[in-house]
Structure formats: structure tokens, C-alpha cells
């Protein structure tokens, strides 16, 4: 069945679009999504949290917010495609219409990427295309080592090429002379937490167009009083 068909069933049931979040570790971006939902800043529901690791603290965060969870460890499958199919089945069963990679470490199989065109978002702790590839804290450490004075975070659509998909939003973050990797990472993370829920809302509710590499989002017009 097409994800779109499942989407309308899910929406008809709750009226609130469902988001699937893929995690591997700490889960602070996942928590920022839950907080934005709780505070009415993001009209969405986390339909499923899928972790690539059974010991990820993101799973505890998901449980605290009563969100359904699944653990799908890619290396327990015969191939990346098999793991991808398991992820896809879980996302479809949860009737999600948008997928967010929030600190998800494995490379997502193309069967998942192809099933959700312009519907999978990743958050990366640098101003892409600078310091692409590598998981946190490598991009932050590389930025520090490169001597850049400004780095930041990027939300982008996921394609089959790691960290290469069209950029949706970026937030700059200054690098201070006294910074350690931990200090810089914390400053970037704060910005990730602010940017990610906004990007999710924009993609869920705006009209998304991609021209070449440029993502153009027309925000939903403000609701008018009846």
C-alpha cells in the first residue's frame, strides 16, 4: 500500500499527523519534539520511535511520553535491505507521514528513503556541506580543528547519499576561542532543539517545493476566523 493511502487513514482517525522518529542514543532532539508538541508549538503526534540500539536513552524518553517504541538493530538482519524492510513495515504500521532521523546512526536503506520522498528529515551538527559525514561529535570537532569562526546545524531531506540531501534550514552558531568540543556541541545542540520542531511543522504544514538543490517552503496561510 502507498504511504499516502495509509496517511489519510491515520489522519482520519486522529486528525493529527503522525511522525516517526529514528534514534540511536541520547534522544535530546526527540525530547525537543515531544516538548514542542506538549507546548502546542507543533501539531503532531509521535506515532513511533524506532531505535537502532536497545540501550539508547532515547527509548526511556519515548516511554516517559508514552510513545510506542520499537528496537530494530540492523546488524541482527541479514542485510541492510532486510533491516530497511523491517523499519518500513513499522513506519507504515504506525501510519506516519513524516520520518525524522534524530541522532540515528545507521545508514538508512534506500527502500525507506524511496518510500518517503521529501518526507525524511535529518538533523546534522554542522552547516552542511561543511563537515558532512561522521556522527556527533566528529562534525563539531572537525569544525573546531578547521578553525572556522561560525558553524551550526542543518536540517535536510534525506536521500540515499549521506548528509547530501537538499537543505531545509540552517542555524549559525559562533565558535569561541576558548571552546572545547563539548562546549561547542552543547551550543549547537541548543539550536538543534529550537530548529528541528519548527522544520517539522514547516514540512508538515507548508507546501514544499524543491528547485535544483533549493528547498522552498511556502508556509501555510494563517487560519481565518469563520
Kindly state the DSSP code that residue 102 receives in the 8-state scheme.
S
Residue 58 CB, shortest distance to ligand GRF, in Å, is 6
Of the ranges 7-15, 44-52, 119-127, 165-173, which one interacts with ligand GRF (CB under 6 A)? Answer: 119-127
Which residue, 29 or 95, has its beta carbon nearer to ligand GRF? 29
Q: Are 114 and 85 in contact (CB under 8 A)?
A: no
Task: Please tell me whether residue 142 binds ligand GRF under the rule CB under 6 A.
Answer: no
User: Does residue number 124 form part of the binding site for ligand GRF (CB under 6 A)?
Assistant: yes
Triad 50, 209, 8: Cα angle to 5°: 50
Position 200 contacts ligand GRF (CB under 6 A): no
- Could you give the 3-state DSSP secondary structure of residue 9? helix
From the list 88, 97, 33, the residue with the least C-alpha distance to 61 is 33
Is there a catalytic annotation at residue 39? Answer: no
Residues in 1-40 that interact with ligand GRF by CB under 6 A: 25-29
Q: Cα–Cα distances in Å, from 43 out to 13, 33, 70, 145? A: 15, 10, 23, 39
Q: What is the CA radius of gyration of the chain?
A: 17
Which one from 39, 124, 156, 193 is the annotated catalytic residue? 124
Strand partners of residue 150? 174
- Residue 51, interface with ligand GRF (CB under 6 A)? no
Nearer to ligand GRF, 27 or 197 (CB): 27
* Binding region for ligand GRF (CB under 6 A): 25-29, 58, 102-103, 123-125, 136, 189, 192
Active site residues: 124
Amino acid at each position: 500500500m502507498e504511504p499516502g493511502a495509509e496517511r489519510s487513514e491515520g489522519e482520519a482517525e486522529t486528525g493529527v499527523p503522525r511522525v516517526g522518529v529514528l534514534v540511536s542514543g541520547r534522544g535530546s532532539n526527540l525530547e525537543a519534539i515531544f516538548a514542542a508538541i506538549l507546548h502546542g508549538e507543533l501539531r503532531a503526534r509521535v506515532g513511533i520511535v524506532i531505535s537502532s540500539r536497545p540501550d539508547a536513552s532515547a527509548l526511556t524518553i519515548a516511554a516517559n511520553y508514552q510513545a510506542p517504541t520499537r528496537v530494530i538493530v540492523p546488524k541482527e538482519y541479514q542485510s541492510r535491505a532486510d533491516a530497511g524492510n523491517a523499519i518500513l513495515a513499522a513506519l507504515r504500521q504506525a501510519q506516519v507521514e513524516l520520518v525524522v532521523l534524530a541522532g540515528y546512526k545507521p545508514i538508512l536503506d534506500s527502500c525507506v528513503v524511496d518510500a518517503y520522498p521529501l518526507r525524511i528529515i535529518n538533523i546534522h551538527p554542522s552547516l552542511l556541506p561543511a563537515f558532512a559525514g561522521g556522527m556527533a561529535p566528529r562534525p563539531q570537532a572537525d569544525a573546531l580543528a578547521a578553525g572556522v569562526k561560525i558553524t551550526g546545524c542543518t536540517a535536510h531531506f534525506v536521500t540515499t547519499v549521506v548528509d547530501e540531501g537538499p537543505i531545509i534550514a540552517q542555524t549559525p552558531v559562533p565558535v569561541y576561542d576558548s571552546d572545547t568540543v563539548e562546549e561547542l556541541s552543547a551550543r549547537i545542540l541548543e539550536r538543534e532543539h529550537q530548529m528541528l520542531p519548527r522544520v517539522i511543522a514547516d514540512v508538515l504544514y507548508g507546501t514544499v517545493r524543491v528547485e535544483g538543490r533549493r528547498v522552498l517552503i511556502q508556509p501555510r496561510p494563517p487560519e481565518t476566523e469563520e
